[in-house]
Structure 1
Amino acid sequence: MDMKPQPFTPPAPIPRTTPPTRLEIIRTVMRNPLELWGKPTYTARWLKTAFFNDRTLIVNDPGLIRHVLVDNVKNYELAVVRQLVLRPILRDGLLTAEGQVWKRSRKAMAPVFTPRHSRGFALQMLAKSREYAAKYEGGGRYDISVDMTELTYAILSETLFSGDIVSQTDDFAGDIDRLLSTMGRVDPLDLLKAPKWLPRLARMRGQGVLEKFRDIVRQTMRLRKEQMARDPEGVPEDFLTLLLRQEGPEGLSESEIADNIITFIGAGHETTARALGWTLYCLANAPAERQAIEAEIDTVTADEPDPVKWLERMPLTRAAFEEAMRLYPPAPSINRQAIAADRWTAPDGEVVEIEKGTTVLVMPWVLHRHETLWEKPRAFKPERFHPENRDRIDRFQYLPFGVGPRVCIGATFAMQEAVIALAVLMGRFRFDCTAATDPWPVQKLTTQPAGGLPMRVTPRFNERAAAA
């Protein structure tokens, strides 16, 4: 008799069974784009449709995804709607820059995010995780969604900026939420591709918090420049210093440096924060998985003090984080637009014609839940990512960090940060749901839990002492 418990199925919109009207599209996109997609989107290899007369190709076939994002990437630029949403916040930051500006920025930042350099941040990640975890010593109830935003911000500040970000707020998580709730969402005028000069009312409400972040960046840059001039040998060799040393006619402009700093402050940590929160939530509802991970963490941390080695030695912990990113991808949509007409031939001979100007949607939210690519796609099953099973996952069916030239530059950094944070948090505490824990995934810039993640945190040392 099979006594293995059924896997936990976390909350998510049920695919629509009827096409939305234009008014429903506007309302749904404004409220939560994740609720827009219908049953065919989760079953078809690709799907041609139109939004407000805009030709759209939804792509789920890994081969076609590779064609668009890698093999013929030069034919696909960032989609207009995506840029209308993100550029007001990030301007010429790495996520939104194009052409030579993007190439200069990517080249300037690449040395900071090599695997070797990322490994050098491990001890700082460990120290900040331990420092933050101290707040849970007495147990209690906490909004883990807020806490993970604060923790990843603390790690980002310490590793990439040597703790020198000029802070102006005691409510950083709240400011981030206000920024993404106002400026990180699609406006009806974006869907209509209205001119940029037409005001978007929601974004007008977010201008104040955006200016607060930009003022933080200006002050941080000014103070570091003064330090570089005063003591060039003693300045920290971090992300901030590296960017400022790229300033000049052949490198980055002052505004481009500021845009990249705000990209990392406002968005770079946000993706990891959301994924950590969803991981703790899913594991709270999968006690057998959680127990195995706690045992793994206890074993590894007892005999391996070097956190650099934890990523390799904690495959169950890593798998749970990766499965949470499958179900709740930090970046739920990748949008491109065809510069010229294109075609792709599938292995079975079927041809996909892509007209000039077509919007191509590669949506990790849909792709990661696609019924032909995943067994029980809506269920939380970390075993998919256990070492013995990883080869079954096509490189182009799982895209938590994107793929191709614009793959997330901080992927290695984020994976290491996540495993270290989970090892510290779950090694010392247990996170359980409460009667108030009822999250609903909402697409803003990232996949966020509406209502937060209120959870009960209890120290685990009592449990270990009893077991001994």
Structure 2
Amino acid sequence: MYLFNYSKYCRLINYWSERNISGPKPIPYFGNTLSPILKGKQCVEMEWYKTYGRLYGVYEFAKPGLRVSDPVLIKQILVKDFHTFRNRRQDADKIAVFKNTLNRARDGHWKRIRALISPTFTSGKLKHMYPLINECCRDFLAALNTDVSTGRTEVELKEIMGAYSMDVIASCAFATKTNTYSNPNNPFTTKCKAMFIERPFISFLSLILPTFIINNKLWKVMVKDPDLYAKFFLDISRDLIFERKNSGKTYNDFLQLLIDVEREDSNTTTGADSVASDALEGHHVNEGVDEQMAEKQALSGVVEKKLTEKEILGQCFLFFAAGYETTATTLSYCVYELALNPDIQDLLVAETKEAFNYKGNIDYDTLCRLPLLDAVLSETLRHYPPVLRLEREAMDDVVLTRGGNESIKIEKGVSMEIPIYSIHHDPDHYPNPFAFKPDRFLPENRHNIKPYTYLPFGSGPRNCIAMRFGLLEAKLVLAKMIQQFRFYSVPNTDVPVVFNAGSILLEPKRLVVGVGLR
């Protein structure tokens, strides 16, 4: 429970002023937690960014946090001093299984899990999953073609892209088809959606009420706690693990790779060398020698080649929770922008058309090398980053150095918060930042992007491990979809996008566009 003696609180909220660091004025008891919940995180953070600059202090209740947007300091936090900022902030997770996920694991626990599962997302492994994703594309396009051919002229992008994303995840994680197009009430989709429904008032109560209340089963039922929906995915994962171990059958999916890692006689490597060798193919502009060395050092020395069953279940759940919403939303924003920018859509149609062979197929390597397709997705992720903010916790006292004689002493336990949305919309980094301009990311222009000002997947050893998988899933369906369908704005298209307030992700209220056959 966060409420405590008012005089003690007043002493605590002088933390940043005593260090000559400015920031928004905190509200008694609540600090700076209320505004982002009520007004929307991206709106509030843009206001704070413009008012207080690239370094300012905030409070979550009475806990101090430092918002850092200076690229030099970001690199220090995410890469150079990764050993000090190796952990994400420790929260009381709403969903218990998160304690065993790579996303929330800490210290040696994180290091071991990351090292063991890193090889799962290398290019070689993704090539084996490519046919599964391709099959999901065929099913999605066939369903959309049926709808459009029978008179459908508008689509809600969140709806159709969510169905595709869930089908890909179910197929690639568990070799399971969801039939989301013929059955929109499939429990895979409905329960995953339910976990991401944001209710600001309930979220606020969860922060201020005592632990014994929010962990009570009656409370969980009353507020439809996400933990209850998580059980569905955990039960499926547990049953499949049991079935595969007893049958001896193997599958080419994510779960099988984790089961193979669990075997103590597995030949799986730690993953450090594998990640470093793949780094130059990564979809970000921050990768270099420092980043590769930090990755290799962070994952070195792991000798155990085993995941516990709870850890396997945790990664399966994370694959659903992190992969479904983020990929579906990114695809939705991308198609939305193509609908508003028909000239860019036409250029992308031309580029992708040349990449398909006479049978109408496109291979993995060709898909990954298409410059405009990559640039369109990159600009989408810049303009609409799925995650609004990165967070790290100082595990020791450390000094941040901006250059020259300017330095800031950070005490152990203070959280570092990197506001991605604000950085991506800084006109000093991206001229006319609210315009959709994929040219920024074309090979001939990419050198103009300052390192550590493009962070949709984070950076450093704790970057998004499934980055390459998500991009492959998105690129393949985009390349195929725009060959068959044309998207355009209609009166129901919101311009600009209207975002949901209080969401942990950059979530639109709706994304409606027109659709027709080419």
TM tier, shorter chain? 0.7 to 0.9
Q: Which residue of 1 aligns with 2:257?
A: 242
Kindly report which structure 2 residues correspond to 1:32-431, keeping only aligned pairs within 5 A, or say none: 32-42=40-50, 44-76=53-85, 78=87, 80=89, 83-85=91-93, 87-88=95-96, 90-137=98-145, 138-139=147-148, 140=152, 141-163=154-176, 170=186, 172-182=188-198, 187-188=203-204, 196-199=211-214, 205=222, 207=224, 210-230=227-247, 232=248, 234-247=249-262, 251-302=306-357, 305-431=361-487
Identity in percent: 25
Residue deviations 1:413-454, cap 9 Å, x none? 11111111101111111122332232423463432112x222
Q: Which residue of 2 aligns with 1:4?
A: none
Q: Which residue of 2 aligns with 1:12?
A: none
Residue deviations 1:39-83, cap 9 Å, x none? 451472322344433222111111101111111122225454x63
Kindly report which structure 2 residues correspond to 1:23-34, keeping only aligned pairs within 5 A, or say none: 25-31=32-38, 32-34=40-42
Closer/same/farther in 2, CA of residues 173 and 142 from structure 1, 3 Å limit: farther
**Greater CA drift, 355-364 or 203-212:** 203-212
**Greater CA drift, 242-251 or 350-359:** 242-251
Closer/same/farther in 2, CA of residues 215 and 51 from structure 1, 3 Å limit: closer
Alpha-carbon distance in structure 1 between the residues aligned to 2:163 and 2:124? 26
Q: How far did 1:212 drift?
A: 3.7
Kindly report which structure 2 residues correspond to 1:15-26, keeping only aligned pairs within 5 A, or say none: 21=27, 25-26=32-33
Alpha-carbon distance in structure 1 between the residues aligned to 2:25 and 2:435? 25
SS of the residue 1:156 aligns to: helix
Closer/same/farther in 2, CA of residues 217 and 358 from structure 1, 3 Å limit: closer
Q: Which residue of 1 aligns with 2:508?
A: 449
Alpha-carbon distance in structure 2 between the residues aligned to 1:18 and 1:29? 12
Closer/same/farther in 2, CA of residues 153 and 444 from structure 1, 3 Å limit: same
- The residue type equivalent to 1:178 in the other structure is A
Closer/same/farther in 2, CA of residues 86 and 333 from structure 1, 3 Å limit: farther
- The residue type equivalent to 1:455 in the other structure is V
Q: How far did 1:401 drift?
A: 0.9
Closer/same/farther in 2, CA of residues 154 and 73 from structure 1, 3 Å limit: same
CA contact (8 A) 1:335 1:360 kept: yes
CA contact (8 A) 1:228 1:235 kept: no
Closer/same/farther in 2, CA of residues 173 and 305 from structure 1, 3 Å limit: same
CA contact (8 A) 1:166 1:220 kept: no
SS of the residue 1:344 aligns to: strand
Q: How far did 1:387 drift?
A: 0.9
Q: How far did 1:27 drift?
A: 4.1
Alpha-carbon distance in structure 1 between the residues aligned to 2:340 and 2:169? 29
- Aligned-residue Cα RMSD (Å) equals 3.1
- The residue type equivalent to 2:254 in the other structure is F
- The residue type equivalent to 1:444 in the other structure is S
- The residue type equivalent to 2:498 in the other structure is W
Q: Which residue of 2 aligns with 1:440?
A: 498
**Greater CA drift, 63-72 or 291-300:** 291-300
Closer/same/farther in 2, CA of residues 101 and 179 from structure 1, 3 Å limit: same
Residue deviations 1:305-335, cap 9 Å, x none? 3330343442112211111111111121111
- The residue type equivalent to 2:35 in the other structure is T
CA contact (8 A) 1:213 1:262 kept: yes
CA contact (8 A) 1:89 1:183 kept: no
SS of the residue 1:75 aligns to: coil
**Greater CA drift, 170-179 or 426-435:** 170-179
Alpha-carbon distance in structure 2 between the residues aligned to 1:420 and 1:184? 35
Q: How far did 1:125 drift?
A: 1.6
Residue deviations 1:253-292, cap 9 Å, x none? 2222211111111222321111111101111111211111
CA contact (8 A) 1:432 1:456 kept: yes
SS of the residue 2:45 aligns to: coil
Closer/same/farther in 2, CA of residues 252 and 275 from structure 1, 3 Å limit: same
CA contact (8 A) 2:170 2:178 kept: yes
Gaps of 5+ in 2: 1-22, 265-303
Gaps of 5+ in 1: 1-16, 461-468
Residue deviations 1:26-49, cap 9 Å, x none? 443334322322545147232234
Residue deviations 1:322-361, cap 9 Å, x none? 1111111112111122222211222343222223332211
Alpha-carbon distance in structure 2 between the residues aligned to 1:427 and 1:366? 34
CA contact (8 A) 2:31 2:59 kept: no
SS of the residue 1:278 aligns to: helix
Alpha-carbon distance in structure 2 between the residues aligned to 1:174 and 1:448? 17
Closer/same/farther in 2, CA of residues 428 and 184 from structure 1, 3 Å limit: farther
Q: With CA pairs under 8 Å and 6+ residues apart, which has the higher RCO, 1 or 2?
A: 1
Aligned residues: 439
SS of the residue 1:299 aligns to: helix
Q: How far did 1:248 drift?
A: 7.3
Q: Which residue of 2 aligns with 1:13?
A: none
Q: Which residue of 2 aligns with 1:458?
A: 516
**Greater CA drift, 237-246 or 417-426:** 237-246
**Greater CA drift, 159-168 or 129-138:** 159-168
Give the TM-score normalised by the residue count of structure 2.
0.76
Q: Which residue of 2 aligns with 1:463?
A: none
SS of the residue 1:120 aligns to: helix
Q: How far did 1:209 drift?
A: 5.4
Residue deviations 1:341-395, cap 9 Å, x none? 2112223432222233322111211111123222112221111111111122233
- The residue type equivalent to 2:310 in the other structure is S
Closer/same/farther in 2, CA of residues 191 and 94 from structure 1, 3 Å limit: same
Q: How far did 1:171 drift?
A: 5.5
SS of the residue 2:391 aligns to: strand
